[in-house]
């Protein structure tokens, strides 16, 4: 699994004009990509990392300050644009594999005590955020 994590001061996801997920104030906006070899165990590992990674103000984690997370599925994280002019998506898991694993990341975060908002899997989403820093990190598990 791969996550692009941004420290934010607010973020939201809009689908068809409706806000489907939003966090206000300090937190993390997390784009999650799934590949073919990923498992529920990797989803749990990613959730633990997201909850405990110390990238918020003052080197704090979401668990330290009860900061919210906005988790959004993002198959394009496994796009490959090394050849030609069109990326390929061969490394990205198909939706029937990816969706339950993204849901597992969210469920495990909630089990850890996190407040988690989400996008809508497979939808045409509009993501808005204020990147605080700017601070962006790629996490592979």
* Other Cβ atoms within 10 Å of 44 Cβ, number: 18
Q: Is 118 considered catalytic here?
A: no
* Other Cβ atoms within 10 Å of 138 Cβ, number: 10
Which entry of 39, 76, 130, 136 is annotated as an active-site residue?
A: 76
Q: Is 76 considered catalytic here?
A: yes
Which entry of 35, 39, 66, 74 is annotated as an active-site residue?
A: 74
Q: Is 35 considered catalytic here?
A: no
Helix ranges, the chain (H): 40-52, 62-65, 95-111
Nearby residues of 115 by Cβ (< 8 Å), 6 or more positions away: 23, 66, 68, 69
Alpha-carbon distances, residue 33 vs 5, 13, 84, 111, 134 (angstroms):
11, 17, 22, 21, 21
Which entry of 6, 35, 45, 75 is annotated as an active-site residue?
A: 75
Q: Which residues are catalytic?
A: 74-76
């Amino acid at each position: 699994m791969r996550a692009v994590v941004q420290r934010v001061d607010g973020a939201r996801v809009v689908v068809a004009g409706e806000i489907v997920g939003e966090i206000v104030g300090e937190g993390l906006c997390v784009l999650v990509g799934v590949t073919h070899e990923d498992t529920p165990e990797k989803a749990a590992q990613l959730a633990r990392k997201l909850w405990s990674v110390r990238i918020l103000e003052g080197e704090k984690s979401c668990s330290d300050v009860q900061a919210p997370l906005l988790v959004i599925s993002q198959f394009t994280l496994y796009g490959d644009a090394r050849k030609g002019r069109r990326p390929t998506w061969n490394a990205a898991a198909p939706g029937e594999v990816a969706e339950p694993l993204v849901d597992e990341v969210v469920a495990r975060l909630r089990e850890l005590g996190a407040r988690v908002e989400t996008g809508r899997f497979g939808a045409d989403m509009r993501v808005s955020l204020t990147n605080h820093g700017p601070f962006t990190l790629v996490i592979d598990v």
